[in-house]
Copies of this chain bind each other. A is one copy, B any other.
Amino acid sequence: MIKEKIDNNVFIPMPVSIVGAICNGRENYMTVGWITRANGNPPMIAIGIGKTHLTWIGIIENGEFSVNFPTAKDLLKTDYIGIISGFKEDKSRLYTAHYGTLKKAPLIEECPLSLECKLAEQIDLPTHTLFVGEIIGAYADKKYIDKNNFNYEKAGAYLLTMMDNTYWSFGKKIGDAWKDGKDFK
């Protein structure tokens, strides 16, 4: 395969999530695609947040945040949350917040899966901060749980690619991980 050198600013496929934090005394929400699991035990998650965002201040001030996975039925609202800044508009009115153990990690009632996270590490990078949070509690809509597993495809979770700025649904199951390759020679 012949490959060409392209721009270094390459993005990878991302799960669409909404990060919640308390900012100026009220709930604020921001659409985030820079997210991954970071540690196995205890379970931790890492998110990359630009330093110009209100959410960035809220996470640093309180050391707590939430991660919520929306359904594609709410795509327009989720996209809106990613366009409008909390500095300009009160986004707390857009969702119903519920709380688990942490009182500064607003969980979104309307999202089928919500994680409450306690800040464990923060890594200062040039334009963004990588926040690593321990998952303290996870809450899911029962109807999307199959055999103790949250089913993202059934829950209508979706994906983002950049720079084409496209949202994608899940496709078909194409294989079983840690299984299909067992007999590969």
Contacts and interface: CB of A to CB of B under 8 A. Distances in A.
Interface of A: 1-15, 17, 33-48, 50, 67, 69, 72, 75-83, 98, 100, 107, 109-115, 120-121, 123, 125-128, 130, 132, 135-142, 145-153, 157-182, 184
Nearest to A164: B149
B167 A170 contact: no
Given A2-B142, A39-B127, A171-B169, A79 B177 contact: yes
Nearest to A172: B169
A15 B34 CA distance: 12
8 contacts: A3-B141, A8-B137, A13-B15, A13-B170, A44-B125, A76-B181, A77-B181, A79-B175
Contacts of A77: 181, 184
A181 B82 contact: yes
Given A3-B107, A13-B15, 10 more contacts: A2-B141, A3-B112, A12-B35, A39-B127, A39-B128, A46-B48, A81-B181, A149-B162, A149-B163, A166-B176
A38 to B, nearest CB: 5
A128 B36 CA distance: 13
Given A171-B168, A177-B167, A130 B130 contact: yes
Contact of A37 (B12, B111, B132, B169): B12
Contacts of A100: 5
Given A10-B43, A139-B4, A181-B79, A169 B165 contact: no
